[in-house]
Amino acid sequence: MNYIKKTMLLCIMGLATAFAQETISGVVTDDQGVALPGATILEVGTNNGVTTDFDGNFTITVGSGASIEVSFVGYASSVLDVSQGGSFTIALSAGNELTEVVVTGLGVAREKKSLGYSSQEIQGSEVSTVKVDNVVNSLSGKISGVQIKANNNFGGSANFLIRGNSSLTGNNQPLFVVDGIPVSNRLNNSSNQRRGSTGYDYGNAASDINPDDIESINVLKGSAASAIYGSRGANGVIVITTKKGKAGKSKMTLSSNVTVGQIDKSTFLTYQDGYGAGYGRYYGSTGYFEDVDVNGDGVDDLVVPTYDDASYGAPLDGTLVYQWDAFVPEHRNYKTATPYVAAANGPATFFETAITYNNSVNFSGGNENSTYRVGYTNFDTSGMLPNSKLNKNTISMNGTINATDRLTVGSSANINFQRTTGRNSTGYNDNIMTMFRQWWQVNVDVADQKDIYEQTGMNYSWNHLASVGDSVLTPLYWDNPYWTRFENFQTDNRNRLFGNVFATYNLTDGLDFTVKASVDTYNELREERRANGSVANWFGVLNAQESSGYDRTDIQSSEYNYDFMLNYDNYITEDLSIAAIAGLNIRKNDYSFYRQSTSGGLKVPNLFSLSNSANSVPLPIEGISSKQVNGIYAQASLGYKNFLYLELTDRYDISSALPVDNNSYNYYAASTSLIFSSLLDDLTWLQFGKIRGGYAEVGNDLGANNVYDTFGVVNNFGSASLFTYPSTKQNSNLVPEKTKEIEFGLETRMFDNRVGLDLTWYTKNTENQLMPVAVTSATGFSNKWVNAGEIQNKGIEVGLNVSPIRSQDLNWDVNVNWAQNKNLVVSLYGDTENIVLGSYQGGITVNATLGQPYGTIRGTGFEFDSNGNKVINSSGYYKSVPDQVIGDVNPEWNGGINNRITYKDVALSFLIDMQKGGDVYSLDMHYGQGTGLPDYTGGLNDLGNPVRDAVADGGGVLNEGVTEDGAVNTVRARADYYGGAYYWGNSSRNPGVLTVYDASYIKLRELSLSYKLPNNAFGSSVTAANLSLTGRNLWIIHKNVPFADPESGLGAGNAQGYLSGSYPTLRTVGLSLNIEF
Amino acid sequence: MKKYILLFSIIFAVTSCDVDETLNIDKKNPTVVPASGLFSNAAINMFDLLNGWHANRLYAQYWAQTTYPETSQYTQSGLRNNIWSAVYRNVLQDLKGAREIITEEGGADSAAQLGIINFMEVFAFSVLVDTYGNVPYSEALDTDNASPVYDDASTIYADLLTRIDAAISSMGSGSGFSAGQDPIYGGDMSQWKKAANALKLRLAMRLADVNTSVAGQKAAEAAAGAIADNADNFGLNYLPDAPNTNPVWVDLVQSGRIDYVGANTFIDVLNDLNDPRRPAFFETRDGVYSGGVYGTANAASSFSAISNLMKKPDLKGNIISAAEVHFLLAEAAARGFNVPGTEADHYHAGIAASIEEWGGSATDVADYLAQESVAYETATGDWKTKIATQKWIAMYNIPYEGWTTWRLLDKPILNVVEGLTYGDIPTRILYPTDEAQLNGTSLNAAISAIGGDLKTVKIFWDVN
């Protein structure tokens, strides 16, 4: 009900009737008369501005007697007196003055040339042309200095870093602000999920932002830009401006888009096809088969060890044997022996064609006194796995009214309903990908598993226990994958509202007062299920092995912001301009969750309700965290003769989450820019040149409830009530952590504006980190909150725009982004030299190590001799050394090249996205090769002999290296059973480093081919129409990680670089039609 | 101008009110709890640890593994952290909290309650020492000291023997915890006192080879008051439903996995002795009891499964039993310590107590003892061999003592894993991997003091 009330309020504010003022319209062209889309029209002395549409048209409502300033990148701006109203044609000449307006911190529009820090803007079309469910993924490769990792989970989270990791254990994701509303991007996956055990990736909440509503995205990368946002700006800010109505004729836009996707097979395992089920030669009388009389003729038959999930068994030579289906009464092969061969339909056939529909309709318009925009978008997608669906309905509306000549009121609201079914499980346990990639029998036909599930609706798994006398309906490790998808699926839904109301009062010339209230609130329900008859797995609030059950989590999150802001923008003298703001922000966050589950299974099969719990329902997990931050801030930007600028920012915050005696902190920023091109009028090739520099110190405080100790409540033991100390010791002497950042930059436009270069250098140190550092359990706790540690990030960001061809009909623009971030852990807590960020199966940890980059992968490494050769033992295995740094998750650099070629009404654009370096550890390969799945575990060795032959017979794997006395190794390690060359259980001879891979990639990330249909194609009522063919993840041009996407992973968060049960990449193509009436 | 005044007064009004400090207090978790709740939780964690730590069942070669035999091959990668964090964090920290609350609150029962807590603390520290050797003791459990020193194991033992005496004497008055909060003895202090004496006897006998005089004296003091009857076993009566079941059920039944079968080492001995406890311990396979080869992968279809009795969720989890006490006394008598009864009497009583504990009848006992291979007088080997072999069988479900019996008395002779030697069988557990990062200086001092962080380094009492 709350929703309805809030929505109504916002609607009333937004769409009430209008009052009168001046509306002017016009078209902006270059000096050849070619329309300039995206040119900026700004009412002089205000923040009121619009941009031109595709055809150069604009409409703006201005105060009486106003002037407008028209500007466009690379053109001289022009100021017009529009006090008489009417319609204008404004031709801009290419000039050396650059006036590009961007939306900066707190939604304030500023001329880009005045900024003393780096920010990079992209237009909404760049994230809405090629559709993806999570807008974050659309930014990949388009912004320099930003690392985005998609993870490939259905509806899942994307890891987003700006200028590297700066917090050791805290949040490193940037803040999202939509029209001045901070929008939660909380990652809220379970700890089991994050450590790669089991669970679903519930995505990041920024995916609720509808790409179709985005006008522009401005990425504030450094602290100097984001300091005004306080502690939350420490990781950068994504400032999103949504589309608004414009005065003039009402418009309706329809957009319809369909995409289809299939897996990129280079990101999935290629299996060996020569050997079937088993771990080696120790079953029954034959060594490979159980001896069971299946057909009842009194003679023992050869039976596949169905209970073992590996492929180091008998050769697949067509011998008639009894396989899993011979035990299934409903199966056509019941009691029948079938040829032992590799499956015709391997796991790759499990994936389905993913289909996405995105349809939206928008109405917008306005008159001289009001503007409005109302939109509706329906996004509906099915994933690559059976029974996966995600549906999102978004309603957005915004409007402004000039209530009097001095008072403008406005509002915006975004309402979002998301329903998801069948997210993919992640991590090691209960994940179909873990089964396919790590624990599988290559003789099992996936289509047969599908048929028997569809025929019976029962959990007839290939991995049943009937071959050892138990029931055919008792699977050991793995359920029938179709059973998993259709019976054990999760669902979740999220209802969200974010919006604001604001009023701006013009107190006097150049001075406005704005009051704004904004809200971001959502309810989320997550339901997880296990149907009766499933394999037991970690489940429920007790995190116990359960073979059936129901688990629900209810989440409520809300954030309210109240802002009071004075905004002054004027010329003090003819030469000296000032733009200043002063304000107060009150923020209140509440996050509560409630999780409850059944225990001991479900009484009535397949009734998923808490009251259907076999045992009494365990104690729920309940939590509330509330936090309030009051902040006051001031910012002044001084401009001298439009070529020298200085901006000063200061903010003071008081946080309820800090210890009471020390709960306030101050931070500040200063930045300056010099437009040196103004001083160099002789250099005709240089249209624009600017150097800039900035320094900032920003703070960061704690999450709620980390100061005072509390006890944990444990489920009763009979009548005994139980309490325990928590594992983390709180600390009441914490102070805010501090980030200090310096940046310098150079921006130029040269050669008739055909070449633009933007260079940034920065160094950022985050000190006094707030973190729950690990301590020896001998202290009674495993973690303790402290202030300690320092991380440094240093880097270079390059943006290069080149227009090789610019003509009436043919234009070609190339945009290159490149960035390198060097990360260093400068200090840690006390004498600690290493902090474990994540500890994973496979004996692997991801760490912050003193003197190393943040995110080193540690595990067993090779032993090297003095010449750097790997040392091999007498049995042909590698020798290993424990606890080595065996990888680094940080890429050396990231980059993107975007090409846009337009010829008349056709536009082709494509994006090449690149990463150099960065390592991943693959548990998939660690176990997968250990169980004999990948092609190379079953093929021929360097001698041309079957690798699985005995070493004495010429089989085995030759590991490259030297023996302990320095001779070249010639002894082959045996590879005829799981305990050989690829064995996972003995790291002293098969070190963890064997499955660490370089995560570099080059990808053809996006491609779109658009055709602007002739204006008369749909009759006169249609003003514009556009047809596009789009593609995403079309081609991985280069990668080094075998059988997987280097970007895949568990989900967003601080511990990256670990692949377990990773999902293949979806390669999509789509068609979209946009029509404007 | 009026507007400005209004405006600034609004700003002033809002900024002058500070943030709401109470927001930072967790509203869903208690800041004050009863001591009994911490005590009960610590006790349950202690029982869960010792019943659920299956490496002991493997190291004592009671069980063998099926597909994944790494632990049987003495890989300690995961398990080396388990006892450390479970004892310090889940047991000792909660006991410490309970002790602080009881001391502060006082009351008629506080002496008895502190006696119980002291006894549990001694038990917990003895497990740490018996597992690792030197461990943090004098500086442990202090959150302000992140790098506690590791104390010498024998020094810790000496202090534990002093503390157990104090615990026993303070159990003399008051009535302990309420029946509902005492899931072990239901508030019966006389039973707690028997358990404390039994522990004292166990600790004393650990020292028999290194400090014979102290061992003899302490064993003599504890002998009369220790558990003598199965009814007094120091065990937790697990409940039928999760999460309060026996951890064996969790791993064998709830998990749905088949990771273990009986080991040939153990089953071969049971078969040789016609042991009446076999059906309580294992299922037959093709009509016979047959154990999987210890230390290799075994097809589960070929060997004896773990018994259904062992898979009962509410199987009582003993960590000191009457049988153990009798075998300790038998050993004490054999060593000539001043304890009542003869070594043969205690040996026979230990066997009887064990068979009865596993549901055997008096006839089963008599038949078994009547065998030449079993009766103390006729069984082969010296007193160590005889007592150790029967104690090892009796400690099947107190597997930590099963492994320790082998460590102390070097009997029975265990099987050697393919590719290893007899000397590779672990006599201790490696220090937790993350201690090197978290408390490196103290750890390194301890490592050099005990002679290396190796699986085959011996605990200080393991000298022969």
Q: Is the pLDDT of residue A17 over 50?
A: no
**B chain contacts of residue A565, beta-carbon cutoff 8 Å:** none
Q: Take residue A910 and report the two structure tokens written for it.
A: 């494509």
Which one, of A270, A280, A276, A271, lies nearest residue A311 by Cα? A276
Q: Using an 8 Å Cβ cutoff, are A62 and A43 in contact?
A: yes
CA–CA gap between residue A47 and residue A106 (Å, rounded): 12
How many other C-beta atoms are found inside a 10 Å radius of the C-beta of residue B108?
10
pLDDT (tens digit per residue) in A417-431: 999 999 999 888 889
Residue B403, min C-alpha distance to chain A (Å): 23
Average pLDDT over residues B435-439: 84
CATH class of the region B35-244+313-417+424-450: mainly alpha
Q: Which three-class secondary structure state does DSSP give residue B391?
A: helix
CA–CA gap between residue A29 and residue A39 (Å, rounded): 9
Give the type of residue at A560.
Answer: Y
What is the length of chain A?
A: 1077
Residue among B37, B77, B97 whose CB faces A722 most closely: B37
**A chain contacts of residue B44, beta-carbon cutoff 8 Å:** 717, 722
Give the type of residue at A210.
Answer: N
- Please provide the average confidence, as pLDDT, over all residues in chain A: 87
Q: Which are the contacts of A1074, defined by CB distance < 8 A and separation ≥ 6?
A: A253, A254, A255, A256, A1024, A1025, A1026, A1027, A1028
pLDDT at A18: 33
Q: Using an 8 Å Cβ cutoff, are A738 and A766 in contact?
A: yes
User: Which residue on chain A is closest to B302 by alpha carbon?
Assistant: A284
**B chain contacts of residue A508, beta-carbon cutoff 8 Å:** none
pLDDT at A5: 45
Residue B349, min C-alpha distance to chain A (Å): 33
Average pLDDT over residues A640-652: 90
Residue B182, min C-alpha distance to chain A (Å): 7
**B chain contacts of residue A306, beta-carbon cutoff 8 Å:** none
Lowest mean pLDDT among A543-552, A890-899, A1013-1022, B111-120: A1013-1022
Q: Is the pLDDT of residue A437 over 60?
A: yes
User: Which residue on chain A is closest to B135 by alpha carbon?
Assistant: A778
pLDDT at A1: 41
The DSSP symbol for B370 reads: H
pLDDT (tens digit per residue) in A280-309: 998 888 999 999 999 889 999 999 999 999
Average pLDDT over residues B70-95: 90
H or E, element range at B201: helix B189-206
Cis status, amide bond into A659, omega within 30 of 0:
no
How many other C-beta atoms are found inside a 10 Å radius of the C-beta of residue A279?
24
H or E, element range at B52: helix B35-52
Which one, of B88, B343, B91, lies nearest residue B205 by Cα? B343
Q: Using an 8 Å Cβ cutoff, are A294 and A327 in contact?
A: yes
Q: Using an 8 Å Cβ cutoff, are A483 and A474 in contact?
A: no
Q: What is the 3-state secondary structure (H, E, C) of A209-232?
A: CCHHHEEEEEEECCHHHHHHHHHH
Q: Using an 8 Å Cβ cutoff, are B44 and B183 in contact?
A: yes
Handedness of CA A150, A151, A152, A153 (dihedral sign): negative
To 5 degrees, how large is the angle CA A500–CA A501–CA A503? 140
Q: Is the pLDDT of residue A724 over 70?
A: yes
Give the type of residue at A789.
Answer: G
A287–chain B Cβ distance below 8 A for any pair: no
Give the type of residue at A847.
Answer: N
Residue A528, min C-alpha distance to chain B (Å): 19
CA–CA gap between residue A203 and residue A281 (Å, rounded): 44
Q: Using an 8 Å Cβ cutoff, are A965 and A872 in contact?
A: no
pLDDT at A3: 45
Scanning the structure block, which residue is given the tokens 């310590």? B337
User: In A954-992, which positions are buried (b, 16+ CB within 10 angstroms) versus exposed (e)?
Assistant: ebbbbbebbbeeeeebeebbbbbbbbbbbbbeebebbbb
Rg over CA atoms, chain A: 31
CA–CA gap between residue A97 and residue A639 (Å, rounded): 15
Contact B255 A536 (CB under 8 A): yes
Residue A476, min C-alpha distance to chain B (Å): 6
CA–CA gap between residue A372 and residue A396 (Å, rounded): 11
Q: What is the 3-state composition of chain B as percent helix, strand, coil, each rounded to the nearest 5?
A: 55, 5, 40
pLDDT at A222: 81
pLDDT at A19: 34
Residue A437, min C-alpha distance to chain B (Å): 18
pLDDT (tens digit per residue) in A194-239: 777 788 888 877 788 888 888 888 888 888 788 888 778 888 888 8
Residue among B18, B31, B250 whose CB faces A708 most closely: B31
Give the residues across from A695 on adjacent strands: A670, A742
CA–CA gap between residue A24 and residue A61 (Å, rounded): 6
Q: Is B364 left (phi over 0), alpha (psi -120 to 50) or beta?
A: alpha
Which one, of A945, A942, A935, lies nearest residue A982 by Cα? A935
A504–chain B Cβ distance below 8 A for any pair: no
Average pLDDT over residues A135-153: 76
Residue among B34, B41, B96 whose CB faces A780 most closely: B96
Q: What is the 3-state secondary structure (H, E, C) of A22-39?
A: EEEEEEEEECCCCECCCC
User: Which residue on chain A is closest to B150 by alpha carbon?
Assistant: A778
Highest mean pLDDT among A124-138, A612-626, A666-680, A764-778: A612-626
A508–chain B Cβ distance below 8 A for any pair: no
State the pLDDT confidence band at B316, using cuts at 50, 70 and 90.
Answer: very high
CA–CA gap between residue A1072 and residue A1010 (Å, rounded): 9
Residue B63, min C-alpha distance to chain A (Å): 19
Q: Using an 8 Å Cβ cutoff, are B75 and B420 in contact?
A: no
pLDDT at B293: 95
pLDDT (tens digit per residue) in A931-988: 999 999 999 999 999 999 999 999 999 999 999 999 999 999 999 999 899 998 888 8
How many other C-beta atoms are found inside a 10 Å radius of the C-beta of residue A937?
25
State the pLDDT confidence band at A73, using cuts at 50, 70 and 90.
Answer: low
Q: Take residue A914 and report the two structure tokens written for it.
A: 């690149």
For every residue of A237-274, DSSP letters joined together read EEEEEE----SEEEEEEEEEEEEEEEE-GGGSPPBP-S
Mutate which of B79, B92, B93 to disrupt the A interface (most A C-beta within 10 Å)? B93
How many angstroms from the chain centroid is the CA of residue A942?
A: 42
Q: Take residue A552 and report the two structure tokens written for it.
A: 């629900």
CA–CA gap between residue B377 and residue B367 (Å, rounded): 15
Q: Where are the beta strands (DSSP E) in A890-990?
A: 893-903, 906-916, 919-922, 957-958, 972-973
Q: Count, in order, helices (H) and strands (E) of chain A.
A: 8, 58
How many angstroms from the chain centroid is the CA of residue A160?
A: 6
Mutate which of A598, A621, A707, A724 to disrupt the B interface (most B C-beta within 10 Å)? A724
Put simply, the chain A residues between 697 and 716 with a CB less than 8 A from any chain B CB are 704-705, 707-715
CA–CA gap between residue A565 and residue A584 (Å, rounded): 6
Residue A278, min C-alpha distance to chain B (Å): 10
Scanning the structure block, which residue is given the tokens 């920024």? A206
Mutate which of B9, B12, B19 to disrupt the A interface (most A C-beta within 10 Å)? B19
Q: Is the pLDDT of residue A14 over 50?
A: no
Mutate which of A290, A602, A723, A847 to disrupt the B interface (most B C-beta within 10 Å)? A723
Give the type of residue at A31.
Answer: D
**B chain contacts of residue A541, beta-carbon cutoff 8 Å:** none
Q: Is the pLDDT of residue B9 over 70?
A: no
Handedness of CA A874, A875, A876, A878 (dihedral sign): negative
pLDDT (tens digit per residue) in A91-138: 887 654 445 677 777 777 777 777 878 778 878 777 777 777 777 777
Put simply, the chain A residues between 620 and 659 with a CB less than 8 A from any chain B CB are 622-624, 626-630, 632, 654-657
Q: Which are the contacts of B174, defined by CB distance < 8 A and separation ≥ 6?
A: B108, B109, B110, B111, B112, B113, B189
**Between B253 and A169, where is the model more confident?**
B253
Q: Using an 8 Å Cβ cutoff, are A116 and A672 in contact?
A: yes
Contact A468 B301 (CB under 8 A): yes
CA distances from A198 to A29, A385, A421, A841, B276 (A): 58, 17, 17, 12, 43
A758–chain B Cβ distance below 8 A for any pair: no
Contact A544 B243 (CB under 8 A): yes
Q: Using an 8 Å Cβ cutoff, are A51 and A400 in contact?
A: no
Q: Using an 8 Å Cβ cutoff, are A839 and A195 in contact?
A: yes
- Please provide the average confidence, as pLDDT, over all residues in chain B: 93
The DSSP symbol for A613 reads: B
Rg over CA atoms, chain B: 25
Lowest mean pLDDT among A277-291, A1045-1059, B18-32, B333-347: A1045-1059
Residue A587, min C-alpha distance to chain B (Å): 10
Q: Is the pLDDT of residue A54 over 80?
A: no
